[in-house]
Amino acid sequence: MHRSFHTILFLFISVWPSLAEKQGSIDSLLHSLNSAQDDDKYQIYLELSHEYLELDVDKGIQYANSIIADSNVVSPEHLSKAFHNRGSLYLKLEDFSQGISDLTTAYRKYSDINQTGNFESELGLTSMQKGRAERLQGNNYKSLKLLLRGIEHFRAASDALGEANCINHIGIIFTNIRDYESAKKY
Give the CA distances from residue 14 to residues 21, 49, 136, 151, 185, in Å, rounded to whole numbers and listed in that order. 12, 24, 27, 33, 34
Count of CB atoms situated within 10 Å of the CB of 41: 19
Nearest to 59 by CA among 80, 77, 33, 40: 33
Cβ proximity of 90 and 72 under 8 Å: no
Reported as a single tens digit per residue, the pLDDT across 40-50 is 888 888 888 88
Name the band, by pLDDT with cuts 50, 70 and 90, for residue 32: confident
Count of CB atoms situated within 10 Å of the CB of 169: 20
Average confidence score pLDDT of the chain: 86
Reported as a single tens digit per residue, the pLDDT across 64-103 is 999 999 877 788 999 999 999 999 999 999 999 999 999 9
pTM: 0.82
